[in-house]
A and B are shown apart, each in its own frame.
Chain A
Amino acid sequence: MIDLIIFLGLITTGYVVGQTLERRHYRAIEQREAALLALPTTSTKRSFGTVPPGTRSELVQGACCISVDYFKRIAASLRQLFGGRVSSYETLVDRARREAILRLKEGAGDAHQIINLRLVTSSITKGQRGQVGAIEVHAYATALYDH
């Protein structure tokens, strides 16, 4: 009985805290994306327009690691029984991708554009028993500076 109470407590805490943090994170992501919108970013190797002589290029990167909460983990394990979209993990990966790109942009300083953007995703815990899953997204790109 005590195990059931602990389980329900964990799942409720996971849901309430996890959802609150997720909403807060999404608000922050949207604000920062809007603020950094003016910085051209592309996955192509070519830059926008002609690059003036003396342009400096630098490797920039941003990484973000986000963990599942208990509720998402249980919801995903139920989903594993039946198959289908694991929607509880979709927000997780989405947040990690966008956060990594934002950190890359924020770390790029006064770059006037970012080209050749690449994303790498890795799972931190590989679903080992008793461990809470977490994913890392690493974004790297070439930033172009005026001088």
Chain B
Amino acid sequence: MDYSPKLPEHNVNVSQGHPLAEFFPLLVATIVIFLVVVGLAGLLVDQAVTYIDPELESELFASSPAQYDFEVEASSERTAFLQGLADELRVCMEMPYPITLAIAASPQINALALPGGHVVGFSGLIDGMSWENGLAFVLAHELAHFKHRDHLRGMGRGLVLVAASAVISGSSSALTSMLTPAVSLGAASYSQSREAAADAAALEALHCKYGDVGGAEELFRTLEQVNDDGIWSEAHYFSSHPELGERILALQQLAEDRQFASGTKAPEPCHFCGN
């Protein structure tokens, strides 16, 4: 046997395609599947939350009390006043279940509806208001999210996103840890239609309590002012919400359609607010 050495012409052990030509179709397919799964699960969550009534919800979350990322103000006349205001609005909004109100000691202009019947007002928001009516509108808006089960929707979608990411990439992956805040924030963002529905319900509550919807848009005006002053580059409370001006117009339009009185009575001053 003669030995006649020769190198092979082609490397048959290695695929000849470009690495990126393989990578991108796989990446796109993964992303598409991920989005479809999250979208479908989100729709399921939308259906499921309508079956979770407030009693069941408070049972579900009783074992795990709300985890706040912020300091809660100790009970005071101010918290008692807000709790009383919320309770009165609750009667107007036909919500026959308890809602616990807390004030977060934070300069953010924000308020949240959290699972388990918790509404949190940030001291930055309360200090920025002058009128009880304006504050009542914000509280009623959060109560409306609660009544409409929006807070569960928000959290449910967040959970679905994290669960899907954990299945695909592992629970400790960078992707999962990146998405996890979407769950802890809970009520981070609602769609514009959910916001508009909450605004409308809050306006009705204001009409019920005061017989006048004047002052409803105080927060939006404050935020507009703040925006104009350039102090905040974005309005934290309504960054995911319809444009402020549009919302004010929508409120005015609704008040007109429903023939709610507006500005016929002087708004109640808020003794516990900052201004």
Residues of chain A touching chain B, judged by Cβ–Cβ distance below 8 Å, are 1, 3-4, 6-7, 15, 19, 30, 33-34, 37-38, 40, 48-49, 71-72, 74-75, 77-79, 81-82, 85, 87-88, 90-91, 93-94, 129-130
Whether the Cβ atoms of B14 and A94 lie closer than 8 Å is yes
Given A78-B30, A81-B30, A82-B26; A129-B172 close (CB under 8 Å): yes
- Choice from B5, B13, B20, B29 contacting A37 with Cβ under 8 Å: B5
> Which of A15, A40, A129 is in CB contact (< 8 Å) with B170?
A129
Q: Does B3 contact A40, Cβ atoms closer than 8 Å?
A: yes
**Contact yes or no, A75 B19, CB < 8 A:** yes
Chain B residue contacts of A38, Cβ below 8 A:
5
The residues of A that contact B170 with a CB separation of less than 8 Å are: 129
Query: A75 and B26: CB pair below 8 A?
Result: yes
Residues of A within 8 A of B231 (CB): none
Interface residues on B, range: 20 to 34
Q: How far is the CA of A90 from the CA of B168 in the complex (A)?
A: 23
Contact call B178/A4, Cβ cutoff below 8 A: yes
Task: Contacts A37-B5, A37-B7, A88-B19 given; indicate if A94 touches B13 (C-beta within 8 A).
Answer: yes
- Contacting A at CB under 8 A, from B1-59, are 1, 3, 5-7, 11, 13-15, 17, 19-20, 22-23, 26-27, 29-30
Q: Give chain B residues whose Cβ lies under 8 Å from the Cβ of A91.
A: 14
B14 and A19 contact, CB distance less than 8 A: no
Contact of A90 among B14, B20, B178 (CB under 8 A): B14
The one of A48, A79, A87, A129 in contact with B17, judged by C-beta atoms closer than 8 angstroms, is: A87
Which A residues are CB-close (under 8 A) to B168?
Answer: 81
Report the bound CA distance from A20 to B145 in whole Å.
55
B23 A48 Cβ-Cβ under 8 A:
no
Taken together as a complex, chains A and B put the C-alpha atoms of A6 and B11 apart, in Å, by 35
In the complex, what's the smallest C-beta–C-beta distance from A24 to chain B, in angstroms?
16
The answer, among B3, B19, B169, B175, for a CB contact under 8 Å with A87, is: B19
Of the A-B pairs whose beta carbons lie under 8 Å apart in the complex, a sample of 22, sorted by A's number, is A3-B177, A4-B178, A15-B20, A19-B19, A37-B5, A40-B3, A71-B19, A75-B22, A75-B23, A77-B169, A78-B26, A78-B27, A79-B22, A81-B26, A81-B30, A81-B168, A87-B15, A87-B17, A88-B22, A91-B14, A94-B11, A94-B14
| B266 interfacial by beta-carbon distance below 8 Å | no
Scan residues 172-191 of chain B and give those whose CB is less than 8 A from a CB of chain A.
172, 174-175, 177-178
Bound form: Cα–Cα A91–B18 in Å: 12
Is A90 in contact with B13, judged by CB distance below 8 angstroms? yes
Q: Could you tell me the distance between the alpha carbons of A4 and B175 in the complex, rounded to whole angstroms? A: 8
How near does chain A come to B24, taking the closest CB pair, in angstroms? 10
Chain B residues with CB under 8 A of A49: 1
Are B11 and A3 in contact (CB-based, < 8 A)?
A: no
Count chain B CB atoms within 10 A of each CB in A3, A19, A34, A49 and give the residue with the most: A3
Query: Are A78 and B174 touching (Cβ within 8 A)?
Result: no
A-contact 0/1 string along B217-236, CB 8 Å cutoff: 00000000000000000000
| Bound complex: CA A93 to CA B172 (Å) | 28
